[in-house]
């Protein structure tokens, strides 16, 4: 089975070692798996939420695109594109906005943090907060659901957004799916063994903290940055504790096991911090030197990068365009021509005015009802642990499959694979029950 993986990087800065170790390197490795269908993108719409400097965003888009390619992303295998080159994404974002609950978005961490900061400073709770920031989770949901990604590699601070995407997808499926799962429910993937690198000051390496080590800076820039990594005051000859050393954490993210063991032993034997930093520089140079040359060659040919990204967008839209058409149909944004064809087709159908209604119980389980033309309930399904299972049973009932109807509890049940999957209400007498069974068979009869 093919697993679709999707991830993106916001284009607001120059890629650094933390981006590489925590996101880009593991994503490129994952894209090489035989069963992977990878979608990797430049999240440039997201960049507008936090940055109002056009030149910075444009430069970052160029740098991040060149970074992925210089580090070995195979665009023949993976789909690599800019978010802003897929017009279906903002349209889907609006469709999802129309079903996303404000209460759900009120709980988003980034929005709550901004509100709390305003309150602490005595400001209006929503001072300076844009709709872009408030609706960020919906745009992220559109990124994910546009391509029905199965797995979304994220940091722990992004788990909530993937969970929100699941909630929004479930509600859309319930409202418009008619028993079909339009959206796959995505799963957040936390790579426990992927490095989270400390920055120069020991905090998480982040552009926000201005503590990063540029990924493709010159050898001198690399050396100058590493020289600023915070260490303790122990002198050469004094034993150092590798497990409390930010420098050792950086080293082990790029070293083979034998190199890690040797570096650990050297620190414990009193290796000076200056020599240790030189060892880290040498390790990084060996890892990134050739990629740096490819990076600068790509930066020098922006037209070639443009062609690669537009080809990736065309590839992505082969999936996005027809899928958005299906979603537009589902919500009622249909062509009048198709409406006329549908009306003509309805004249040929008999007994197909009944409808299925899917819903979710308070306990989180999934169920569906079958209502006849008058809105009277013919069937109520059993509870299903997940929407996909409920949808499959619903689909089988609508397919015209021969019905196994059995009397039970004053009404009747419908059985599939020797299991009762739905049951009618009780009836006053056998004639009423038989009439209901007949309406059921007419409702589920295949179209002529």
Contact at 8 Å (CB) between 370 and 352? Answer: no
Contact at 8 Å (CB) between 132 and 49? Answer: yes
Is 11 known to sit in a ligand binding site?
Answer: yes
The radius of gyration computed from the CA coordinates of the chain, to the nearest angstrom, equals 28
Contact at 8 Å (CB) between 60 and 101? Answer: no
Residues linked to residue 355 through DSSP beta bridges, in sequence order: 371
Is 117 known to sit in a ligand binding site?
Answer: no
Buried b (16+ CB within 10 A) or exposed e, 150-178: bbbbbeeebebbbebbbbbbbbbbbebbb
Is 204 known to sit in a ligand binding site?
Answer: yes
> CA-to-CA distance for 127 and 114, rounded, in angstroms?
9
Is 19 known to sit in a ligand binding site?
Answer: yes
Is 143 known to sit in a ligand binding site?
Answer: yes
Residues linked to residue 75 through DSSP beta bridges, in sequence order: none
Is 205 known to sit in a ligand binding site?
Answer: yes
In angstroms, what CA-CA distances link 91 with 86, 143, 282, 315?
A: 10, 11, 48, 18
To the nearest 10 degrees (0 to 180), the angle between helices 219-227 and 273-299 is 140
Is 157 known to sit in a ligand binding site?
Answer: yes
Is 7 known to sit in a ligand binding site?
Answer: no
Is 351 known to sit in a ligand binding site?
Answer: no
> CA-to-CA distance for 381 and 414, rounded, in angstroms?
9
Is 321 known to sit in a ligand binding site?
Answer: no
Is 207 known to sit in a ligand binding site?
Answer: yes
DSSP letters spanning 176-237: H-TTS--S---EEE--TTS---B-TTSSBP-GGGT---BTT--HHHHHHHHHTS---SPPTT
Residues linked to residue 380 through DSSP beta bridges, in sequence order: 369, 423
**Residues that constitute the known binding site for ATP:** 10-12, 18-19, 155-157, 197, 204-208
- Binding positions are 10-12, 18-19, 143, 155-157, 197, 204-208
> Residues at the annotated binding site for L-tryptophan?
143
């Amino acid at each position: 089975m093919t697993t679709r993986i999707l991830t993106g990087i916001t284009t607001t800065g120059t890629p650094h070692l933390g981006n590489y170790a925590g996101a880009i390197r593991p994503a490129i490795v994952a894209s090489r798996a035989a069963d992977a269908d990878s979608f990797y993108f430049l999240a440039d719409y997201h960049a507008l939420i936090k940055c109002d400097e056009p030149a910075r965003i444009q430069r970052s888009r160029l740098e991040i695109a060149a970074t992925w390619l210089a580090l070995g992303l195979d665009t023949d295998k993976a789909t690599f594109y800019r978010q802003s080159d897929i017009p279906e994404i903002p349209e889907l974002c609006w469709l999802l906005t129309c079903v996303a609950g404000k209460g759900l978005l009120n709980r988003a961490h980034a929005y709550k943090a901004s509100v709390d900061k305003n309150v602490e400073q005595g400001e209006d709770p929503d001072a300076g907060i844009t709709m872009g920031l408030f609706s960020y989770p919906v745009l992220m949901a559109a990124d994910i659901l546009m391509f029905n990604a199965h797995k979304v590699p994220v940091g722990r601070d992004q788990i909530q957004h993937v969970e929100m995407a699941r909630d929004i997808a479930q509600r859309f499926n319930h409202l418009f799916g008619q028993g079909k799962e339009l959206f796959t429910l995505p799963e957040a993937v936390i790579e426990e063994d992927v490095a989270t690198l400390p920055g120069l000051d020991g905090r998480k390496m982040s552009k926000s903290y201005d503590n990063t080590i540029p990924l493709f800076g010159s050898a001198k820039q690399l050396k100058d940055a590493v020289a600023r990594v915070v260490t303790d005051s122990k002198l050469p000859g004094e034993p150092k504790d590798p497990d409390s050393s930010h420098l050792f954490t950086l080293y082990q993210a790029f070293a083979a096991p034998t190199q890690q063991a040797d570096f650990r032993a050297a620190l414990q034997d009193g290796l000076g911090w200056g020599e240790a930093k030189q060892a880290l520089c040498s390790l990084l140079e060996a890892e990134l030197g050739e990629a740096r040359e490819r990076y600068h060659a790509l930066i020098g040919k922006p037209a070639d990068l443009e062609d690669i990204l537009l080809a990736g967008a065309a590839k992505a839209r082969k999936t996005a365009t027809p899928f958005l058409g299906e979603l537009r149909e589902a919500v009622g944004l249909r062509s009048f021509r198709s409406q006329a064809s549908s009306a003509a087709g309805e004249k040929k159908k008999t007994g197909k005015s009944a409808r299925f209604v899917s819903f979710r119980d308070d306990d989180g389980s999934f169920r569906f009802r079958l209502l006849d033309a008058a809105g009277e309930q013919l069937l109520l399904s059993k509870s299903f642990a997940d929407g996909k299972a409920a949808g499959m049973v619903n689909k089988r009932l609508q397919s015209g499959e021969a019905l196994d109807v059995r009397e039970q509890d004053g009404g009747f049940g419908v059985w599939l694979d020797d299991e009762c999957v739905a049951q009618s209400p009780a009836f006053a007498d056998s004639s009423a029950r038989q009439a209901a069974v007949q309406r059921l068979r007419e409702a589920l009869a295949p179209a002529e």
